[in-house]
């Protein structure tokens, strides 16, 4: 099996040999990337194009273990607020149930370095007092198959957050309610 597959969306079937890690799919509405693990499956649009003769494809994000309990998000926010001057990293992992983990890390006001936890479903990091956006550093670091969340403006009572699904360096925004229940 090749590491990456290159497939055509014929509608009833996908032409081509699937890859071990992920697939590029050419569809009637452009180029997509698709990957799945036991914890997350996602199809993300890379570029729009009209391709005559192929079927349309839609972006999709599925959590096979179910949505994540909302209280883990609230807990994460409390932890980040408790150290609102520093960038912090948290992970929501799957360990038979969803858990919030804080791996060993070196946080400063301008960045955070951390160990990657196994079975991570959501990467969460804070931007301390800065606004919540995915920086070029985040784009460079966030190369896995998982959900990514950034939380910012922790100096206010209404912090900002942004969420996206990442498929090996390709991203698409996701709705909070599609992740947390
Ligand atoms: Zn960031």
Q: Could you tell me the pTM of the whole model?
A: 0.93
What is the model's pLDDT at position 15?
A: 96
CA of 48 to the centre of ligand 1 (A): 27
Residue range 70-178, CATH number? 3.40.140.10
What is the model's pLDDT at position 5?
A: 98
CA of 107 to the centre of ligand 1 (A): 12
CA of 152 to the centre of ligand 1 (A): 9
CA of 130 to the centre of ligand 1 (A): 9
Q: Are 117 and 146 in contact (CB under 8 A)?
A: no
CA of 15 to the centre of ligand 1 (A): 38
Q: Where are the domains positioned within the chain? A: 4-62, 70-178
Alpha carbon 29 to chain centroid distance? 23
Which string of b and e fits 74-99 if b means at least 16 CB within 10 Å? eebbeebeeebebbbbbbbbbeeebe
Residue 137 sits at φ, ψ, to 5 deg, of -65, -45
Count CB neighbours of 111 within 10 A.
Answer: 15
CA of 16 to the centre of ligand 1 (A): 37
Note the pLDDT tens digit of each residue in 105-151: 876 666 777 777 889 999 999 998 999 999 999 999 999 999 999 99
């Amino acid at each position: 099996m090749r590491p990456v597959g290159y497939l055509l969306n014929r509608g009833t079937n996908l032409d081509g040999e699937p890859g071990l890690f992920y697939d590029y799919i050419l569809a009637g509405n452009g180029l997509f990337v698709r990957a799945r693990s036991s914890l997350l499956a996602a199809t993300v649009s890379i570029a729009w194009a009209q391709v005559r003769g192929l079927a349309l494809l839609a972006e999709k994000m599925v959590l096979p273990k179910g949505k994540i309990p909302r209280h883990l998000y609230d807990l994460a926010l409390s932890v980040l607020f408790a150290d609102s001057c520093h960038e912090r990293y948290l992970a929501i992992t799957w360990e038979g149930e969803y858990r919030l983990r804080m791996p060993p890390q070196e946080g400063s006001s301008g960045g955070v370095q951390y160990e990657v936890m196994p079975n991570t479903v959501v990467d969460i990091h804070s931007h301390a007092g800065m606004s919540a956006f995915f920086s070029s550093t985040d784009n460079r670091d966030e190369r896995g198959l998982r959900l990514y969340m950034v939380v910012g403006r922790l100096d206010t009572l209404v912090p900002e957050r942004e969420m996206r699904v990442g498929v090996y360096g390709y991203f698409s925004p996701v709705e909070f309610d599609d992740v947390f229940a």
